[in-house]
Structure 1
């Protein structure tokens, strides 16, 4: 009879320890999940989806292969989670760019010149090629767009539709500054500016210095054909 309270107290202590350990356990679980997604981005962007195994991912993270399934039911589930995480990242970046442009863009670019256009073009180029997560995502989508229709649609949205929409809105504002030739279409002006940049991003995979040289020449030509004389 005297030992029952001791056992009850011991059970209470164990329960309290379990509750105290729960946040740490959840943190470790999230850390492992994120590490698996990072490893998947590295592997899928380098070797493709089919060329990267669950065993490869487990080895990269330092866990047993069976432990991967505590976080994801399949390799496809890892891929899907990776794409969902990329969506969040891209929406965050798009929001940052939109705020950076803002309603005062016409004021800040009221004296737009070639140097400003070079800065805009180089910023786009550098982000896509040198933001570590975005660059890997781009390679991943290039590799996998022919395997999965949803991936193909996302590639088109990330690297064609969204940038073109953003550039169209930007040039709609810039055209209002009066620095450009008259009667230009914002969408066609955006396409004339962004289209070659998109192509040169592909070129840069083989020869970045040559691509940068061509990028500078493209901006110079764009200025001559779209801005008013003397700009």
Structure 2
């Protein structure tokens, strides 16, 4: 039984290494720009051995997308962006400083976490080629964030912290510059610090525009 357990662990580890190495290659060269042989070489196994773990390159790609959804949703929970949870009562009396810290931390994670960065670049490159990738990109980077932010700002509006406004439009005003800055960093990694400053300024100005004057 112990031998079987060790073998199962080796198989599991190899399978994970395959999709992780494939993610690196796909994010750099695109799905069509990578062969099974190149993935096997990156892992350090023979082409034929790779097929013991995955039936095809497409199955590896699909596995990456499934793992991507889990990884990024867990990250959102970690950085106080519970996309699948109700926000009622979660951000009572949230300050401008809290808002800035929360979203700057999330921004830094998406830029600096190696796996998250590769996933984002892969989805961007494949969104118009593979429907599954396009649907996931839309869910993770548009629908889910907008759903969460709309709920957040609706609560802040209802409790009188923010001025009366359409919550979805407010969410667009907040999120669009963030998405723009992330894409800008993908193109120009040397501008991360500059874009962080822009993000902080954006959140502070947004807060000034929407927060109810306490007097």
Shift of the 65–133 alpha-carbon distance from structure 1 to 2, 3 Å rule, reads same
- 1:23 equivalent in alignment to 2:8: no
Counterparts of residues 171-190 of structure 1 (less than 5 Å): 171-181=153-163, 183-190=164-171
Deviates more, 1:209-218 or 1:29-38: 209-218
- 1:119 equivalent in alignment to 2:101: yes
Partner of 1:222: 206
Partner of 1:43: 25
- 1:193 equivalent in alignment to 2:171: no
Partner of 2:14: 32
Secondary structure at the counterpart of residue 66 of structure 2: helix
Partner of 1:75: 57
Displacement of 1:101 in angstroms is 8.0
Deviations 1:92-141 (Å, cap 9, x if unpaired)? 3445532998544243xx1x433222213312311221222211100011
Partner of 2:143: 161
Gapped regions of structure 1 (runs ≥ 5): 1-18
Deviations 1:64-106 (Å, cap 9, x if unpaired)? 1110011111111110111112122234344553299854424
Q: Output the TM-score relative to the length of structure 1.
A: 0.82
**Corresponding residue pairs, total:** 209
Q: Output the TM-score relative to the length of structure 2.
A: 0.87
Deviations 1:29-50 (Å, cap 9, x if unpaired)? 1110001011011111112112
- 1:204 equivalent in alignment to 2:185: yes
Gapped regions of structure 2 (runs ≥ 5): none
Alpha-carbon separation, structure 1, partners of 2:203 and 2:2: 59
Which of 122, 126, 138 aligns to 1:144? It is 126
Pairwise CA RMSD = 2.2
Deviations 1:178-212 (Å, cap 9, x if unpaired)? 2212x222222111111111111111221222222
